[in-house]
């Protein structure tokens, strides 16, 4: 069933000067409203044009021309929202876009809430919730892999997997309910053994999706990696070398980096969210102290720590304090500046950190960086990921729903094993269905929908 709504409008492109900027209008009066301010070059009315046409003309505020535009018309139900949609392609200036939007609102449209177009696409049944969330993930993708996983979700890979599992749960529910509701028909009870086999298969499938979250999270956010070390060891130089761009300031003054500098990169297919930090040392400089505090906090959250030390000097108290801070973490140690004297070598560190993870480098001479990249690949290999046929959970909301489903399957299996009568566990069976339905949005509350779509950008 299509929901009936008012007509909404928003600027759908970014609010910075650009070649074009688009105002999207969707709802029952979308075409009529835009027609009120659109003077087509060929003298026609927008109400008379065919669906999926692009029409040239001018946006007029009474007799005053606001912009020369192209208006695309997509008629219900063949549009993103399944409603009538008109998109005004203006010149991409902030003032002109705001003026045209204001005019469209004066003529009867309401300003759309964030994500409201996508919410309508969902409520009108064009996409399910996992696809709606995929749209947001595509917009926010920080790596090629995250983008690819999100596009797959949009194509419906996750939806298909979830629906397969849902069908299996429904078959079991139908069987169990029928035997409770119509005992007189003597519907053949699913043998307990068979029931457990079927439920265990469902459990395995849910679990497989659930555990894909760890990979999915890496895809989405990158492995949280911090470069840590005392001042002047070459941390910012390393960040720049890995990124192949001069992102961080590098000088020979210790204490150059004061705040964390964050970047996203892809090392042999491993997405990293890498953070260069202020050199850790005892300092009286107030600003530097804040940076050092932040660096220490970042170590706590990090999934990988790259600890850099200066091979051309002796390890000192600052180094030993850092080693203490990172001892429970996944750590790679870089002994940098080996182009100078080799005062400190792996030998001096081997009792403190695993020797296999110590790499001599000279960022300056481009030595050791490939070894580091290969080490990261070895530690976090995602080589087996095949995006084409595998659904990955990238979303904590999905993970929690699957956790709930797992719990309920476990409860049903235990009940059947204990010989509990089926009417006692039928509620748990329904809970499995409900939890899984949260992913596709069949069983979510209005509040959750509101919260989810409010995270979208305006105009999407």
User: What residues make contact with Mg ion under the rule CB under 5 A?
Assistant: 235-236, 256-257
Does residue 344 belong to the site contacting ligand GTP (CB under 6 A)? no
Which residue is nearest to ligand GTP, using beta carbons? 279
Does residue 334 belong to the site contacting ligand GTP (CB under 6 A)? no
Name the residue nearer to ligand GTP (CB basis): 216 or 231: 231
Does residue 270 belong to the site contacting ligand GTP (CB under 6 A)? no
Name the residue nearer to ligand GTP (CB basis): 176 or 233: 233
Is the four-CA dihedral 33, 36, 41, 47 of positive or negative sign? positive
Does residue 233 belong to the site contacting ligand GTP (CB under 6 A)? yes
Helix (H, G, I), strand (E, B) or coil at 137: helix
Rg (CA), the chain: 29
**Nearest CA to 348 among 364, 368, 333?**
333
Is the four-CA dihedral 267, 273, 277, 280 of positive or negative sign? negative
The site partner of 252 among ligand GTP, Mg ion, none (C-beta below 5 to 8 Å per kind) is: ligand GTP
CA distance 387 to 392: 8
Helix (H, G, I), strand (E, B) or coil at 70: strand
The site partner of 234 among Mg ion, ligand GTP, none (C-beta below 5 to 8 Å per kind) is: ligand GTP
CA distance 213 to 41: 53
Helix (H, G, I), strand (E, B) or coil at 431: helix
Phi, psi of 394 (to 5 degrees): -120, 5
In the complex, what is the shortest distance from the CB of residue 250 to Mg ion, in angstroms, rounded to a whole number? Answer: 7
Does residue 254 belong to the site contacting ligand GTP (CB under 6 A)? yes
In the complex, what is the shortest distance from the CB of residue 374 to ligand GTP, in angstroms, rounded to a whole number? Answer: 19
Q: Is the peptide bond before 162 cis (omega within 30 degrees of 0)?
A: no
Does residue 441 belong to the site contacting ligand GTP (CB under 6 A)? no
Of these, 363, 393, 444, 452, which contacts ligand GTP (CB under 6 A)?
363
In the complex, what is the shortest distance from the CB of residue 267 to ligand GTP, in angstroms, rounded to a whole number? Answer: 19
Total residues contacting ligand GTP by CB under 6 A comes to 24
CA distance 408 to 404: 6
Does residue 256 belong to the site contacting ligand GTP (CB under 6 A)? yes
CA distance 176 to 234: 66
Name the residue nearer to ligand GTP (CB basis): 128 or 319: 319
What is the edge-to-edge ordering of all strands in the sheet holding 261-267?
A: 261-267, 270-276, 223-229, 304-310, 331-336, 358-360
Of these, 26, 273, 344, 362, which contacts ligand GTP (CB under 6 A)?
362
Contact 10, 111 (CB under 8 A): yes
Does residue 279 belong to the site contacting ligand GTP (CB under 6 A)? yes
Does residue 81 belong to the site contacting ligand GTP (CB under 6 A)? no
Span interacting with ligand GTP, options 16-24, 103-111, 170-178, 248-256, rule CB under 6 A: 248-256
Does residue 360 belong to the site contacting ligand GTP (CB under 6 A)? no
Name the residue nearer to ligand GTP (CB basis): 232 or 344: 232
Contact 141, 154 (CB under 8 A): no
CA distance 174 to 181: 10
Name the residue nearer to ligand GTP (CB basis): 340 or 420: 340
Does residue 340 belong to the site contacting ligand GTP (CB under 6 A)? yes
Residues 6+ apart with CB under 8 A from 132: 118, 119, 121, 122, 441, 452, 453
Binding site for ligand GTP (CB under 6 A): 229, 231-237, 250-252, 254-257, 278-279, 336-337, 339-340, 362-364
């Amino acid at each position: 069933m299509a929901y009936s709504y008012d007509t909404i409008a928003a600027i759908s492109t970014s609010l910075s000067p650009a070649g074009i900027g688009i105002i999207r209008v969707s709802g029952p009066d979308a075409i009529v409203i835009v027609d009120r301010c659109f003077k087509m070059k060929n003298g026609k009315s927008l109400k008379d044009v065919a669906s999926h046409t692009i029409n040239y003309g001018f946006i007029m505020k009474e007799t005053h021309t606001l912009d020369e535009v192209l208006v695309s018309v997509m008629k219900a139900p063949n549009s993103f929202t399944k409603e009538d949609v008109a998109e005004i392609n203006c010149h991409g200036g902030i003032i002109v876009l705001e003026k045209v939007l204001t005019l469209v609102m004066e003529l009867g449209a309401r300003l759309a809430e964030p994500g409201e177009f996508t919410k309508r696409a969902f409520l009108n049944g064009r996409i399910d919730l996992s696809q709606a969330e995929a749209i947001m993930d595509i917009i926010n993708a920080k790596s090629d892999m995250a983008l690819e996983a999100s596009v797959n979700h949009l194509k419906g890979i996750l939806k298909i997997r979830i629906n397969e599992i849902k069908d299996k749960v429904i078959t079991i529910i139908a069987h169990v309910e029928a035997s409770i509701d119509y005992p007189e028909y003597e519907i053949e009870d699913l043998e307990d053994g068979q029931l457990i086999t079927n439920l265990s298969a469902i459990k395995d499938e849910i679990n497989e999706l659930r555990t894909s979250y760890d990979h999915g999270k890496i895809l989405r956010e990158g492995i949280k990696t911090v470069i840590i070390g005392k001042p002047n060891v070459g941390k910012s130089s390393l960040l720049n070398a890995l990124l192949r761009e001069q992102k961080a300031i590098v000088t020979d003054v210790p204490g150059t980096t004061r705040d964390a500098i964050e970047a996203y990169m892809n090392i042999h297919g491993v997405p990293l969210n890498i953070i260069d930090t202020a050199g850790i040392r005892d300092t009286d400089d107030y600003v530097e102290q804040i940076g050092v505090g932040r660096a220490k906090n970042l170590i706590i959250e990090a999934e990988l720590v790259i600890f850099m030390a200066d091979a051309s000097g002796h390890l000192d108290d600052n180094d030993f304090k850092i080693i203490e801070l990172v001892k429970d973490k996944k750590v790679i140690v870089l002994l940098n500046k080996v182009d100078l004297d080799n005062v400190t070598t792996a030998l001096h560190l081997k009792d403190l950190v695993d020797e296999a993870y110590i790499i001599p480098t000279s960022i300056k001479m481009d030595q050791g960086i490939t070894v580091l990249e290969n080490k990261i690949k070895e530690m976090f290999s995602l080589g087996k990921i095949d995006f084409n046929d595998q659904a990955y959970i990238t979303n904590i909301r999905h993970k929690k729903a699957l956790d709930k489903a797992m719990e309920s399957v476990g409860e049903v299996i235990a009940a059947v094993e204990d010989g509990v009568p089926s009417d006692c566990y039928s509620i748990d069976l329904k809970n499995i269905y409900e939890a899984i339905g949260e992913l596709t949005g069949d069983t979510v509350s209005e509040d959750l929908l509101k919260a989810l779509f409010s995270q979208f950008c305006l105009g999407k």
